[in-house]
Structure 1
């Protein structure tokens, strides 16, 4: 398989490249330390699998994955991170990652993940499996009403308050009130923060 690693830490890139070179099933490895470089390489060459750092420089991998999947539908993407909290793992899975690896996972787990995801399976290392499948609902999600969730989905789709009001047959003032309530509940200050929180917490589909 042909694998590309996207991480802004050179020690991680060096270590993973060295490790992948010891797997006989890995035909080619490449690396990118920023988004611009990653896009150039994906446009230039065909890769089977991408190891993507969730905190990729200034970018959040959970916000990048929708575009990556759209532009490269055959590319399998594994989240690579040092974050093992339940919210991060669950929001990553909802965002569309095919697998989830911690940077402290060992050689055996990395090999299992690569083979499983390449074969079309979802893979979560044992250290993340329990957190992902724990039956818990996001506390943020519990605070939003069905109407607020509906409006939040339309905001993420870049609809204006006027457009949302027309679509839901409500007044523009009512939409603005709902939007203010959503921002307060999500503890954000602007639309950009609202969209980011919605995606990271898996509150909407993208």
Structure 2
């Protein structure tokens, strides 16, 4: 059966980065609710700034300094606001797809000396289990012709291209390294091929 995606609700959401229209999607792939925050008119447009952001409760909600997720979410909304149009897709893929429980267990392993990749593998998972078919369906539903993806992750670009999305360019989204996220950022660069300047300029 062909995967089904349904845009059930659209509602305005005023934020400190301007007003977005929130699209609430249901689907038949993973039975989770995914969200698209849309700013301006994106239908039939090219080079639309798009951030595909995977859920991170600890970073996005609590402001955890162990990762760069919350900062990237904020930066992406600011970039879209500055462009005066764009889309932020919020996927329910906590912990690179392993879920909140396993992510928290991985945190404890990291505190014992493992990096984020080794901790996930130790728990019986891949380093990154995310996939982007739902994001691709959302972009098609929004009738976007091509995107400029806000990311440091080349595999995200490759994944979307394989799903038929026209990725016309990349917009970097790099946060400042500090003592709590330095190891995390180095692992992203060295083991996951994220495009980052060498994160050695640690700040408190």
TM bucket, shorter chain? under 0.3
In the superposition, the TM-score normalised over structure 2's length comes to: 0.26
* Larger helix share, 1 or 2: 1
In the superposition, the TM-score normalised over structure 1's length comes to: 0.26
* Larger strand share, 1 or 2: 2
RCO greater where, 1 or 2, for CA within 8 Å and sep 6 or more? 2
